[in-house]
Amino acid sequence: MNSEFTIAVHSLVLLAHLPDHMATSEEIAANVSTHSARIRKVMGFLRKAGYVSTKEGIGGGFILSCKPEEVTLGEIYRLTCQGTLKPSWCSGDESKPCMISSKMDRLMGKVFCDAEKQMENYFEGHTIGSMLEQIRAFECPQSNTESLS
């Protein structure tokens, strides 16, 4: 699995923590620790799905356009990583006469697909809002000094 799911979740939690603030891709990138172009790419998915609004030009950036408690990690997973659990490498060979060699890839495909659904089901139990709560609950020594750095 690549890390676009992680980036999307991190960005959304950050935006949920800063309502009414237009965050630029540079600001988000600094917080996530990656390049701004990568943030813009991931935010593109989130914009098309309606989770964030974007504004170009001076004073522009990204802002949350959904309720954090209503967005589950499952939705974000499907948006960014669905189908990536199964390795691309294929076991066996469909053209072989042996039933095991010829059918194993299909069987493993089903197994991985179902396993992924189980995982998504777990992700459904978490929302952007609950993630933010957990972060805050860890302990927040600087709850009054808001800082993106």
Q: Which of residues 75-104 bind DNA (CB under 7 A)?
A: 84, 87-89
Burial classification of residue 89, based on how many CB atoms lie within 10 Å of its CB (0-12 exposed, 13-18 middle, 19 or more buried) = exposed
Strand partners, 127: 72
The one-letter amino acid at 94: E
Indicate which of ligand FES, its own copies, DNA, none lies near residue 24 (CB less than 5 to 8 Å, by partner kind).
DNA
DSSP 22: -
Coil/strand/helix, residue 63: strand
9 sits near its own copies (criterion: CB under 8 A): yes
Binding mask 47-86 for its own copies (x = CB under 8 A): --------------------------x-----------x-
Indicate which of its own copies, DNA, ligand FES, none lies near residue 144 (CB less than 5 to 8 Å, by partner kind).
none
